[in-house]
C-alpha cells in the first residue's frame, strides 16, 4: 500500500531524518535519540495542561494530545516524537469499559474471562479513530522534518489487562486460561491483535513515520510459552501492517531470552531493555538487526559523570549493530529532572 501523498515519508519530509535512516540500518553522522515516556509526568508543562483532565480523556482531545506529544520535542530536541496515547485507548474506542487509575494503571470493571464475556466485545471501527488522526495532523504540521512514531500494545499485554482486570505481576487468571481454555485465550488475543493493528494503521496513515509494538509483559513468559501463546498473535499484528512502508520496532522488558522470537514475528528493529547489553543483543540477533536502546533509567538519578560514562558505553556497544537509535531501556521515570534529559540528549548528539 502506498502512503497518502501528503504523508511525511511520501513527501520526503522525514525520509532523511536520523531516526528513519537509523531504523533502516544506516550509520548516521550523529545518533538519533528519543525516549519512551518522554511526554509525561517528568515535565512540569505536562502536569499543568493535564490538571483536572483524566488520562484517557487527554488522549482523545486532539489539541491536548498534540500539545503533550510536542512538549519533549520542543524542550529536549529529541529526534522523534512518540504519539501521546495509551495502549488501552483502542480498547476504550471499541467499547471496553477501561480507565487509567492514578498510580495503578489500566483497570476494567468487567474483565473478559468467559466465552460470554468475549462475545460481548465489538470490533474497532476505524471511524472512531478520528480524534487520533486529527491529533496526528496537528503534530506532523508542527514537527516538519522530525518524524512521529505511532504505537500500539502487543496482543499478549493488552489481553493481560482485559483478563486480569488491571496490572498483574503474576497474571494468575491469564495463566489459568492458557492452561484450561486455550481456545478462548486465542480468540481474545486474535481480537486484541485486530484492535491494536487498526489503531496502529490509523496512526501511520495519518502521518506516523515508524511504529512500535509494546509487549510490556512478554518477559513474564518463558520462551516456549511465548512461542505458543503470544508470538502468533504479535505476528498477526505485524503481518497486517506489512503493506505500510515504515519501520516496525518491537519492544518488551526482561526479554533477553525472547529477542530472537520477538524479532521473528515481523519486526525490522528491536528495542532492547536495559538488562541486556546492546552488543549481546546484537550477537543474539546475528548482527543484522538495527537496535534501539538501552540507557538504564536509574542512571538519570546518578551524578552526571556516571550518567555520561553509561551513555557513552551504551553508544559504544550499539556500534556493533547495523543501525542504532538511542533510547532508554524502559520509560522516563516521573521523578526525573527534565534538565538531565535535555543534557543527555545534547551528549548523544555530540553537542557536549
Whether the Cβ atoms of residue 263 and residue 322 lie closer than 8 Å to each other: no
What whole-number distance in Å separates Cα of residue 318 and Cα of residue 338? 25
Q: Which three-class secondary structure string do you get for 75-100?
A: HHCCCCEECCCCCCHHHHHCCCCEEE
Q: How many CB atoms within 10 Å of residue 305?
A: 8
Domain ranges for the chain: 18-348
Q: Where are the beta strands (DSSP E) in 67-204?
A: 81-82, 98-101, 105-108, 148-153
- Catalytic residue status for 50: yes
Catalytic residue among 21, 37, 194, 201: 37
Catalytic residue among 21, 75, 79, 86: 86
- Catalytic residue status for 86: yes
Tell me which of 3.40.50.300, 3.20.20.210, 3.30.870.10, 3.40.50.150 is the CATH number of domain 18-348. 3.20.20.210
- Catalytic residue status for 41: yes
Question: How would you class 227 by CB atoms within 10 Å of its CB: exposed for 0-12, middle for 13-18, buried for 19 or more?
Answer: middle
Catalytic residue among 23, 46, 161, 274: 161
Residue 169's pLDDT is what?
87
Catalytic residue among 41, 57, 61, 225: 41
User: How many C-alpha atoms does 14 have within 13 Å on its Cβ side?
Assistant: 30
- Catalytic residue status for 226: no
Tens digit of pLDDT per residue, the chain (352 long)? 789 999 999 999 999 999 999 999 999 999 999 999 999 999 999 999 999 999 999 999 999 999 999 999 999 999 999 999 999 999 999 999 999 998 899 999 899 999 999 999 999 999 999 999 999 999 999 999 999 999 999 999 999 999 999 999 899 999 999 999 999 999 999 999 999 999 999 999 999 999 999 999 999 999 999 999 999 999 999 999 999 999 999 999 999 999 999 999 999 999 999 999 999 999 999 999 999 999 999 999 999 999 999 999 999 999 999 999 999 999 999 999 999 999 999 999 999 8
End-to-end CA distance of the chain: 42
Catalytic residue among 50, 181, 187, 257: 50
| 190 three-state secondary structure | helix
- Catalytic residue status for 161: yes
| Dihedral sign (CA 194, 196, 199, 205) | negative
Amino acid at each position: 500500500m502506498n502512503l497518502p501523498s501528503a504523508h511525511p515519508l511520501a513527501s520526503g519530509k522525514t525520509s532523511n531524518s536520523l531516526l528513519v535512516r537509523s531504523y533502516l540500518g544506516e550509520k548516521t553522522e550523529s545518533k538519533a535519540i528519543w525516549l519512551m515516556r518522554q511526554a509525561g509526568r517528568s515535565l512540569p508543562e505536562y502536569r499543568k495542561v493535564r490538571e483536572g483532565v483524566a488520562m484517557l480523556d487527554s488522549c482523545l482531545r486532539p489539541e491536548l494530545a498534540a500539545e503533550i506529544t510536542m512538549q519533549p520535542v520542543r524542550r529536549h530536541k529529541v529526534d522523534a516524537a512518540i504519539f501521546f496515547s495509551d495502549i488501552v485507548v483502542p480498547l476504550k474506542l471499541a467499547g471496553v469499559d477501561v480507565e487509567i487509575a492514578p498510580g495503578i494503571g489500566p483497570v476494567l470493571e468487567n474483565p473478559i474471562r468467559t466465552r460470554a464475556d468475549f462475545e460481548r466485545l465489538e470490533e474497532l471501527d476505524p471511524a472512531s479513530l478520528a480524534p487520533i488522526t486529527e491529533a496526528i495532523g496537528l503534530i506532523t504540521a508542527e514537527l516538519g522534518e522530525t518524524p512521529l512514531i505511532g504505537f500500539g500494545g502487543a496482543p499478549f499485554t493488552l489481553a493481560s489487562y482485559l483478563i486480569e482486570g488491571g496490572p498483574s505481576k503474576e497474571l494468575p487468571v491469564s495463566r489459568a486460561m492458557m492452561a484450561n481454555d486455550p481456545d478462548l485465550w486465542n480468540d481474545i488475543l486474535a481480537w486484541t491483535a485486530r484492535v491494536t493493528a487498526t489503531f496502529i494503521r490509523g496512526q501511520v496513515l495519518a502521518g506516523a513515520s515508524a511504529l512500535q509494538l509494546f509487549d510490556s509483559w512478554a518477559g513474564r513468559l518463558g520462551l516456549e510459552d511465548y512461542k505458543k501463546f503470544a508470538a502468533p498473535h504479535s505476528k498477526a499484528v505485524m503481518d497486517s501492517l506489512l503493506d505500510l512502508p515504515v519501520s516496525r520496532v518491537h519492544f518488551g522488558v526482561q526479554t533477553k531470552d525472547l529477542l530472537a522470537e520477538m524479532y521473528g514475528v515481523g519486526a525490522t528493529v528491536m528495542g532492547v531493555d536495559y538488562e541486556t547489553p546492546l552488543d549481546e543483543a546484537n550477537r543474539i540477533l546475528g548482527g543484522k538487526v538495527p537496535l534501539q536502546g538501552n540507557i538504564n533509567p536509574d542512571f538519570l538519578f546518578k551524578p552526571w559523570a556516571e550518567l555520561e560514562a553509561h551513555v557513552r558505553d551504551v553508544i559504544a556497544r550499539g556500534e556493533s549493530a547495523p543501525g542504532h537509535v538511542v533510547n532508554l531501556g524502559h520509560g522516563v521515570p516521573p521523578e526525573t529532572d527534565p534538565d538531565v534529559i535535555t543534557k543527555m540528549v545534547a551528549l548523544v548528539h555530540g553537542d557536549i
